[in-house]
């Protein structure tokens, strides 16, 4: 492929700028709303008339703090636990898929992909009824299990691609030197698959963090309600006032962890996805 001409390069820059503008304008609008006071919300200008921290005070110390802060704690704890369990289980499953020959291996991968694209809304009603009967409704475990249904299939599919790239001669060499199968897996295979493990963990965390359907359907109190569900419960100062500013401020706070993870580890994420996409 030859070098791009000046005209082609300019067109690529313009296209990239338009895509970035299309993606960032809604985010910038939410940030702007979060700094608008109650009297300034109906202002049709993009920027606030005068920047105010009123909405952030509302969600951290005001009448919305009782909803937002427990939900933020729940989201962090539930998503981290679900991510950890999904990564550990997918490592063993991906190792077996990549290393062992057994009947139905392709069926396992195909089933994992099918579950990953299965409509979430179809699982809510059966889970709601089952969770009420077994006592898992409105609990952390009652959300962790459905989150595993979201994160585990895509984790298995993604990580199996990384394990296929690992030279298995190194595992055999470790076993020849006296290492057991478990020691070879833990000390040789897992370190080599670290970029894939890290990438899978980031993707799994994003999926769990952004869930709304399970969070709103399987919780009812602050005991386990995550942030996306809590945002729908915000109320204004009066019956006739919409909590637009408080919701925008909470949305900004909730987005910060995702943005920080993407910015801090973007090279490892891209490297991991690239390695996983290359077939040996």
What is residue 237's predicted lDDT score, i.e. its pLDDT?
54
What is the average pLDDT value for the chain, to the nearest integer? 83
- List Cβ neighbours of 152 (8 Å cut-off, separation of 6 or more): 86, 89, 90, 112
- Give the whole-angstrom CA distance, residue 245 versus residue 219: 24
Query: What are phi and psi for residue 279, nearest 5 degrees?
Result: -90, 140
Name the nearest CA neighbour of 221 among 123, 142, 125, 130.
142
Query: Among 120-124, 170-174, 208-212, 276-280, whose mean pLDDT is lowest?
Result: 276-280
Dihedral over alpha carbons 258, 271, 274, 117 (to 10 degrees): -20
Query: Among 130-134, 248-252, 270-274, whose mean pLDDT is lowest?
Result: 270-274
What is the separation of C-alpha 95 from the centre of its chain, rounded to a whole number of angstroms?
A: 23
**pLDDT score of 238 more than 80:** no
- Give the whole-angstrom CA distance, residue 65 versus residue 77: 18
Name the nearest CA neighbour of 152 among 76, 82, 79, 80.
82
The DSSP secondary-structure symbol of 218 reads S
Residues 29-39: pLDDT tens digits? 889 888 888 77
- Give the whole-angstrom CA distance, residue 155 versus residue 275: 15
What is residue 275's predicted lDDT score, i.e. its pLDDT?
57
Residues 57-66: pLDDT tens digits? 888 888 888 8
Averaging pLDDT over each range in 196-200, 218-222, 265-269, which range is the top one? 218-222
Residues counted in the chain: 280
- Domains contained in the chain, CATH given: 65-233 (1.10.3720.10)
Q: pLDDT over 90 for what percent of the chain?
A: 23
What is residue 89's predicted lDDT score, i.e. its pLDDT?
92
Sign of CA dihedral 253, 255, 256, 261: positive
- Give the whole-angstrom CA distance, residue 153 versus residue 86: 9
**pLDDT score of 158 more than 90:** no
Q: H helices within the chain, ranges in order?
A: 6-34, 54-60, 65-99, 105-116, 121-134, 140-163, 169-176, 181-184, 190-192, 194-209, 213-217, 227-231, 244-264, 266-277
Q: Is 260 exposed, middle or buried (0-12, 13-18, 19+ CB in 10 A)?
A: exposed
**pLDDT score of 272 more than 70:** no
Maximum alpha-carbon separation in the chain: 74
- List Cβ neighbours of 192 (8 Å cut-off, separation of 6 or more): 166, 170
Report whether 66 contacts 222 (CB < 8 A).
yes
């Amino acid at each position: 492929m030859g070098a791009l001409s000046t005209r082609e390069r300019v067109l690529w820059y313009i296209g990239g700028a338009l895509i970035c503008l299309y993606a960032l304008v809604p985010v910038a609008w939410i940030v702007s709303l979060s700094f608008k006071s109650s009297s300034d919300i109906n202002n049709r200008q993009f920027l606030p008339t005068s920047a105010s921290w009123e909405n952030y005070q509302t969600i951290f110390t005001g009448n919305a703090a009782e909803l937002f802060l427990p939900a933020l704690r729940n989201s962090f704890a539930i998503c981290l636990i679900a991510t950890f369990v999904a990564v550990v289980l997918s490592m063993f499953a991906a190792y077996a898929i990549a290393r062992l020959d057994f009947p139905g291996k392709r069926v396992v991968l195909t089933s994992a992909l099918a579950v990953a694209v299965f409509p979430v809304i179809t699982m809510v009603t059966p889970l709601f009824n089952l969770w009420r009967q077994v006592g898992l409704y409105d609990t952390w475990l009652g959300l962790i299990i459905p989150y595993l249904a979201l994160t585990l299939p895509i984790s298995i599919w993604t990580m199996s691609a990384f394990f296929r790239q690992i030279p298995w001669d190194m595992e055999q060499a470790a076993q020849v030197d006296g290492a057991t199968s478990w020691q070879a897996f833990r000390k040789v295979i897992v370190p080599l698959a670290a970029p894939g493990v890290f990438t899978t963990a980031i993707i799994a965390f994003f999926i769990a963090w952004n869930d709304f359907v399970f969070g709103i359907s399987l919780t009812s109190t602050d005991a386990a309600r995550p942030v996306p569900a809590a945002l729908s419960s915000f109320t204004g100062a009066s019956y006739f006032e919409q909590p637009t500013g408080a919701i925008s401020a909470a949305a900004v706070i909730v987005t910060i962890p995702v943005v920080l993870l993407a910015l801090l580890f973007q090279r490892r994420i891209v490297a991991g996805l690239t390695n996983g996409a290359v077939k040996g």
